[in-house]
């Protein structure tokens, strides 16, 4: 386990991730979240986009510890429906520490003064509106959870349950083994609301400028940055910096 005061080294984080992977693989997802919430209390956060599949993980976290911090990147480009859905879930689940994280206003004014960066440099836009704000918001935490799943395919098809990040944190993917059917079954069984856009074909929901519905048979994330070749916003992969240099942040 991560000690409260011992120095965290790349070797200790990698070792902890391997041990956690083996431990979490033996128990159901909700038990894993209860274990994580208790073991890392005060040092763990959930990162959620309040998207199409988000209610399940938020529900499990709320049952384990409703005061566990939930970090929500409010990019300024989200669907109004996502903000409404966030507020509804917060109220229904009794989440007590949901933090909406905006981009830095000075950085926004300097690098995207007219709000159109997404159209000609989406990597730089995601860095400005997601990667950098999340890195700052995660600074107080040693461990973070997120809702990625192997069923999303592409870069996520071999997703572990626990991994060490290059910036020395533990990143946990408690629902890595879940697919869309399992998510929907849990949502229905527990009376959780659906995202208002889910019924309109939006299988994965990010910013309104960069998200489109998917057709039957398309991959879950096919509607994200459609036609651009971009598949991730950068909070889960090394991100090119706005000047084109490689930036190895993993947030």
Catalytic residue IDs: 233
Report whether 154 contacts 231 (CB < 8 A): yes
Which CB, 187 or 249, lies closer to ligand SF4?
Answer: 249
Grouping H, G, I as helix, E, B as strand and the rest as coil, residue 143 is strand
Helix H or strand E encompassing 101: strand 98-101
Interface positions with ligand SF4 (CB under 6 A): 75, 77, 118, 122, 125-126, 129-130, 206-207, 209-210, 233
Is the CB of 82 or the CB of 143 nearer to ligand SF4?
82
Radius of gyration of the chain (CA): 17
Q: Give the C-alpha separation, 75 to 115, whole Å.
A: 11
| Least distance from ligand SF4 to the Cβ atom of residue 171, Å | 20
37 or 47: CB nearest ligand SF4: 47
Burial class of residue 235, CB neighbours in 10 A (0-12, 13-18, 19+): buried
Of 78 and 176, CB closest to ligand SF4: 78
Residue written as token pair 């994200």: 224
Cβ 234 to ligand SF4, closest distance in Å?
8
Query: Which element (helix H / strand E) includes 122?
Result: helix 122-126
Minimum CB–partner distance for residue 193 and ligand SF4 (Å): 23
CB of 196 to ligand SF4, least distance (A): 19
The pairing of beta strand 239-240 with beta strand 246-247: antiparallel
């Amino acid at each position: 386990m991560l000690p409260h005061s011992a120095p965290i080294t790349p070797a200790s984080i990698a070792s902890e991730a391997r041990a956690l992977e083996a431990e979490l693989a033996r128990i159901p997802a909700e038990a894993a979240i209860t274990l994580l919430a208790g073991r890392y209390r005060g040092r763990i956060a959930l990162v959620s986009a309040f998207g199409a599949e988000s209610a399940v993980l938020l529900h499990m976290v709320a049952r384990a510890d409703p005061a566990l911090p939930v970090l929500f990147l409010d990019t300024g480009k989200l669907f109004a429906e996502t903000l409404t859905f966030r507020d509804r879930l917060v109220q229904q689940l009794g989440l007590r520490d949901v933090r909406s994280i905006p981009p830095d206003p000075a950085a926004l004014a300097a690098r995207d003064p007219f709000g159109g960066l997404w159209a000609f440099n989406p990597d730089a836009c995601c860095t400005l509106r997601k990667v950098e704000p999340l890195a700052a918001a995660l600074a107080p935490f040693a461990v973070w959870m997120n809702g990625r799943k192997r069923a999303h395919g592409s870069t996520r098809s071999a997703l572990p349950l626990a991994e060490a990040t290059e910036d020395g944190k533990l990143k946990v993917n408690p629902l890595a083994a879940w697919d869309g059917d399992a998510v929907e079954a849990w949502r229905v069984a527990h009376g959780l609301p659906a995202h208002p856009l889910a019924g309109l074909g939006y299988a994965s929901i990010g910013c309104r400028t960069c998200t489109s519905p998917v057709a039957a048979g398309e991959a879950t994330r096919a509607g994200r940055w459609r036609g651009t070749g971009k598949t991730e916003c950068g909070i889960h992969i090394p991100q090119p910096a706005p000047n084109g240099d490689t930036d190895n942040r993993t947030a």
